[in-house]
Chain A
Amino acid sequence: MAMRQTPLTCSGHTRPVVDLAFSGITPYGYFLISACKDGKPMLRQGDTGDWIGTFLGHKGAVWGATLNKDATKAATAAADFTAKVWDAVSGDELMTLAHKHIVKSVDFTQDSNYLLTAGQDKLLRIYDLNKPEAEPKEISGHTSGIKKALWCSEDKQILSADDKTVRLELIKSFETPATINSASLHPEKEFLVAGGEDFKLYKYDYNSGEELESYKGHFGPIHCVRFSPDGELYASGSEDGTLRLWQTVVGKTYGLWKCVLPEEDSGELAKPKISFPETTEEELEEIASENSDSIYSSTPEVKA
């Protein structure tokens, strides 16, 4: 029985959401941080989208945000020429790292000992978080502002991208109907999700490159998409100022989504029967009806 994807909208930001990151899986579940042009990055519970706290301190748009593996630390990159490291449990600011231009990207190593930053000054910087007073190691080479820099290959290499070049080996490429801003590979690599300028999210089969599903829902271009560490959901951040959570397997009971078994006697499709104070059934229909574009077929044999 096919069901329509119900994205969960996380509100709270007042400007475009430009970056988001998940933590690893911790004993308390996993967490999500969102970077926003309103300068107030937020921490949320990863599987429900519930807001936990807002990191207050930046004086400009926050362009990048990340969490360390166990979600005890957060790092943010902002237009106020600083990157900050935060205690992700208390929300307190731990460190402010001054830069010479807008900082766009931050990334922790797996052991949380080093922080990689990058931005408009075209330099990659590696900070030793055990020695915050020490000067960072600087790596030059980019000829334009760096948009994103990440540790890879077990923190032995850095992957970085600016406007013109991505220093990386091309492994696979996919045709998309619109300019894509961000993509994320499922932890088990069966498929990937991507989003961009046409406001839609696309899901592609990693091996065949076939477009599997697409969803409308955002009211602006999608800036960032990430899979959760368990692959059960993916989050998208948009120019419309919202963050949305989408199910990888539509209809599965997970987080706030609840599987409803069809009545065997009646021919009616299962409908949500619980009434809860925040929304009525009509509102729920409205929320879900934004997605009328699913190409997920209920009769699999129809697909070539």
Chain B
Amino acid sequence: MQTPLPSPVPVLRLPRGPEGLSRGFAPDGRRALLKPEVPGTPESPVVHECQESQEQRARALLRERYLRSLLAMVGRQVSFTLHEGVHVTAHFGATDVEVANFYVLQLQTPIGVQAEALLRCSDIIAYTFKL
């Protein structure tokens, strides 16, 4: 009477390790503009910024979720709904930094299969894929 082992929690990737002999602390990293607080300087009023920062936080969270969803799509079959009632399917490859174009493979169009293609995101109304 053997119950199957529960499956391990999947991970997106492993933590990144040190880069060779570099000491890191990327000079153009996210926190680059931050300087250690000069002790004794009065704190600037935070109250009126609260709502703005809350919105910003929400935006950042949603953005991160969207970027992760794009990552999850790589290599999968995706169905695109385009204008004029056109539906195509393809294997998702990559997007550019502005998410203006999707690079896809094996694009199945009404006039045949295209090995590689760029789909203009402005032409896409919606897309779906199975995880």
Contacts and interface: CB of A to CB of B under 8 A. Distances in A.
B23 to A, nearest CB: 5
Interface of A: 1-6, 8-12, 27-28, 42-44, 48-56, 70, 72-73, 87-91, 94, 111-113, 129-130, 245, 247, 250-251, 256-261, 269-276, 278-279, 284-285, 287-289, 291-292, 298
Interface of B: 4-19, 23-27, 29-32, 34-37, 39-40, 53, 71-72, 74-75, 131
A285 B18 contact: no
Contacts of B14: 8-9, 256, 278-279
A256 B13 contact: yes
B32 to A, nearest CB: 7
Nearest to B4: A269
Nearest to B76: A273
Given A130-B39, A275-B75, A91 B7 contact: no
B72 A274 contact: yes
A4 B131 contact: no
A90 B30 CA distance: 11
A239 to B, nearest CB: 19
Contacts of A288: 8-9
Nearest 7 A/B pairs, CB to CB:
A288-B8, A53-B24, A49-B15, A272-B10, A91-B25, A53-B25, A269-B7
A4 B5 contact: yes
A89 B39 contact: no
A276 B5 CA distance: 24
Given A3-B8, A251-B9, A70 B15 contact: no
Nearest to B31: A89
B31 A28 contact: yes
Instruction: Point out which of B4, B8, B34, B40 has the most chain A C-beta atoms below 10 A from its C-beta.
Output: B8
A35 to B, nearest CB: 16
A54 B23 contact: yes
Given A9-B14, A27-B53, 12 more contacts: A6-B10, A9-B15, A52-B24, A72-B36, A90-B27, A113-B39, A256-B13, A257-B12, A258-B9, A270-B7, A278-B13, A284-B11
Contacts of A113: 39
A10 B8 contact: no
B25 A51 contact: no
B52 to A, nearest CB: 12
B9 A56 contact: no
A95 B75 CA distance: 50
A106 to B, nearest CB: 16
Contacts of B7: 3-4, 269-271
B23 A10 contact: no
A278 B29 CA distance: 23
A87 B11 contact: no
A260 B10 contact: yes
B12 A51 contact: no
A274 B17 contact: no
Contacts of A70: 37
A12 B18 contact: yes
26 contacts: A3-B9, A5-B8, A6-B9, A6-B10, A9-B14, A11-B17, A27-B53, A48-B16, A53-B26, A54-B23, A55-B23, A72-B37, A87-B36, A88-B36, A89-B32, A89-B35, A129-B39, A251-B9, A256-B11, A256-B12, A257-B9, A257-B10, A258-B10, A260-B10, A272-B8, A298-B6
Contacts of B19: 51
Contacts of A88: 36
B118 to A, nearest CB: 23
Given A12-B18, A113-B39, A285 B8 contact: yes
Nearest to A94: B36
A129 B75 CA distance: 53
Given A9-B14, A273-B131, A247 B25 contact: no
